[in-house]
Chain A
């Protein structure tokens, strides 16, 4: 069965600094990987996904993520954090074949200080 680990409950970063939110996964075969963001009192919004191809995926709001097959990781990154990036971030994985459910991590709260 597939699983996702987000090792950090919270990440603190100063505005203007680069940020990284970590995600590792376990899945049979090739993975489909996703990042979603949840702003306060809102549902989840899609940020980006990796299906195949270039290991560096670019998404919404200046975010990007790097797929590393050998380390089974899919870390979310942004070169320069904004206070408005403060939110809850979820990594998710599903196997690349068949109809399989999307499994989410436990989430990482990002706090960007002014």
Chain B
């Protein structure tokens, strides 16, 4: 069964801490994405990557950075966590190609609480 695995389901961090959220996919997908999900706001794209070492800003990149050193792994980094970054974080991946019709496969999510 194909999978997107997020290493931490629940995290509690303190304001100012550096936070790493890890995501690994085993489908050899080119594209990987980080979304955050908040009630009433739906899913908002933070960053995405369409190739190793490539990254693009999404709609809400402020306060976040990403790393993609290997094709299967896409990490989201909060350099200095703040309470407004308390959220559910969802990683996803998809095949590339000329069509935008490729389906995203999501991980189970990482619920981050910043105190």
Contact = CB atoms under 8 A, between A and B. Distances in A.
Secondary structure of the A contact surface, majority rule: loop
A45 to B, nearest CB: 7
Secondary structure of the B contact surface, majority rule: loop
Contacts of A107: 42
Interface string B71-97: 000000000000000000010100000
B50 interface: yes
Interface residues of A, number: 28
A87 to B, nearest CB: 14
A51 B101 contact: yes
A106 B109 contact: no
A101 B104 contact: no
Interface of B: 4, 35, 40-45, 48, 50, 58-59, 90, 92, 99-101, 103-109
Given A46-B104, A51-B99, 8 more contacts: A43-B4, A43-B106, A44-B90, A51-B101, A101-B45, A102-B100, A103-B45, A104-B35
